[in-house]
Amino acid sequence: MQHIMTKNDYRKYVDKVSPNSKTVRNTLRAFVVGGFICMIGQFFMNSFKQMGLDQEVTSSLTSIVMIFLGVSLTALNLYDDLGKFAGAGSIVPITGFANAVASPAIEYKSEGYVLGIGARMFLIAGPVLVYGISMSIIAGIFRYLLKH
Amino acid sequence: MRETVMQYLNAFAIGGLICSAGQVLIDKTKLTPARILVLFVSMGVVLTALGVYQGIVDVGGAGATIPLTGFGYSLAKGAFRDVDKYGLLGAFTGGIRATAAGVAAAVFFSYLAAVAFKPRAKS
């Protein structure tokens, strides 16, 4: 414990402590909201599996439903509010990817249907696809070379 | 019943942990969300290629597949599967084949949303 003598000491003390406690708070929020979104995903996965669908169809349908939810909440202006609270908890799940596509698409509508909506929806999704796809191709080539 | 409860708890815990990692990166490194997403997809591809991520999926279920690292997992798994099936061509077809549903849904729903909704008024 630190003795706080003056206003100045107090300010120093707050400065020293608050960045950390803020990170702890943000991380906790990200954990809870991110974990909860994944539980919703688990619910849909289990439901589709129970309908007798195979693994591949189940995971594709789960992605579609979660993305539909993410886009819908974005269109209703609710996902931004969730993001202010949850930070990475709303960015990292696939609903956050859906938000990253829908949000600029809606926002840049005024720039037109082609260069506004059509182009801007890939503002963040574009880099994700570029790096994700490229790395999966490299991984596939390595797999091929190691087998031959 | 008990198994299902464990499944949900695992999804919550693993999914929460992956998102927490993203939050720590945002707070400590000032990485923008776009960079976090790129990093997480890439991490997912690499960890899957190294054979690590499948184990996380086996435990975490949706907790491992719903975060963006799971998108990387699907990309890499798809590329591997198609390479085993079709040879080198599979490296080019597998990733997109495995993730087609999600990417197509994101593009299509976002387009519909952009056409139907007005942007939020700047406050």
In this structure, what is the dihedral angle of CA atoms A60, B38, B108, B102, given to the nearest 10 degrees? Answer: 0
In this structure, what is the dihedral angle of CA atoms A66, A38, A98, B118, given to the nearest 10 degrees? Answer: 80
Q: Helix H segments across chain A?
A: 7-50, 55-75, 78-86, 88-91, 94-107, 119-120, 122-147
pLDDT at B94: 98
Q: With respect to residue B100, please indicate whether it lies within any of the assigned structural domains.
A: yes
Q: Do B101 and A68 touch (CB under 8 A)?
A: no
Give the A window 7-36 contacts with B, CB below 8 Å.
22-23, 26-36
Q: With respect to residue A133, please indicate whether it lies within any of the assigned structural domains.
A: no
Query: Please, is A97 exposed, middle or buried when counting C-beta atoms within 10 Å of its C-beta (0-12, 13-18, 19+)?
Result: buried
Q: Tell me how many residue pairs between chain A and chain B have CB atoms under 8 A apart.
A: 288
Gap from A49 CA to chain B (nearest CA, Å): 13
Q: What number is the average pLDDT over the span A134-143?
A: 98
Gap from A14 CA to chain B (nearest CA, Å): 18
Q: Helix H segments across B30-88?
A: 33-49, 53-60, 62-65, 68-86
Q: With respect to residue A143, please indicate whether it lies within any of the assigned structural domains.
A: no
Q: Does A48 touch chain B (CB under 8 A)?
A: no
Nearest to B67 among A27, A93, A110 (CB): A93
What is the pLDDT confidence band of residue B122, given thresholds at 50, 70 and 90?
Answer: low
Q: Do B117 and A75 touch (CB under 8 A)?
A: yes
Beta-bridge partner residues of B120: none
Residues B6-31 pLDDT 10s:
999 999 999 999 999 999 999 999 88
Per-residue pLDDT at A2 exceeds 70:
no
CA nearest to A31, candidates A92, A96, A97: A92
Q: Does A100 touch chain B (CB under 8 A)?
A: yes
**ipTM (interface predicted TM):** 0.95
Which chain B residue has the Cα nearest residue A148?
Answer: B87
Q: Does A82 touch chain B (CB under 8 A)?
A: no
Residues A74-131 pLDDT 10s:
999 999 999 999 999 999 999 999 999 999 999 999 999 999 999 999 999 999 999 9
Which range marks the domain in which residue B62 is found? 2-116
In total, how many domains does chain B have?
A: 1
Q: What number is the average pLDDT over the span B98-119?
A: 97
Cβ neighbours of residue A69 closer than 8 Å, sequence gap 6 or more = A40, A95, A98
Query: Please, is B54 exposed, middle or buried when counting C-beta atoms within 10 Å of its C-beta (0-12, 13-18, 19+)?
Result: middle
Nearest to A88 among B4, B26, B75 (CB): B26
Q: With respect to residue B19, please indicate whether it lies within any of the assigned structural domains.
A: yes
In total, how many domains does chain A have?
A: 1
Q: With respect to residue A28, please indicate whether it lies within any of the assigned structural domains.
A: yes
Give the pTM: 0.91
Q: How far apart (Å, rounded) are the C-alpha atoms in residues B63 and B14?
A: 5
pLDDT at A15: 62
Residues B44-78 pLDDT 10s:
999 999 999 999 999 999 999 999 999 999 999 99
Q: With respect to residue B122, please indicate whether it lies within any of the assigned structural domains.
A: no
With beta carbons less than 8 A apart as the criterion, state whether B64 and B18 touch. yes
Cβ neighbours of residue B76 closer than 8 Å, sequence gap 6 or more = A135, A136, A139, A140, B44, B45, B46, B48, B49, B53, B95
Nearest to B114 among A33, A67, A106 (CB): A106
| Higher pLDDT, residue A6 or A112 | A112
* pLDDT, chain A, mean: 93
Beta-bridge partner residues of A93: B67
Which range marks the domain in which residue A26 is found? 7-107
Q: With respect to residue B10, please indicate whether it lies within any of the assigned structural domains.
A: yes
Q: With respect to residue A125, please indicate whether it lies within any of the assigned structural domains.
A: no
pLDDT at B74: 98
pLDDT at A124: 94
Q: Do A102 and B109 touch (CB under 8 A)?
A: yes
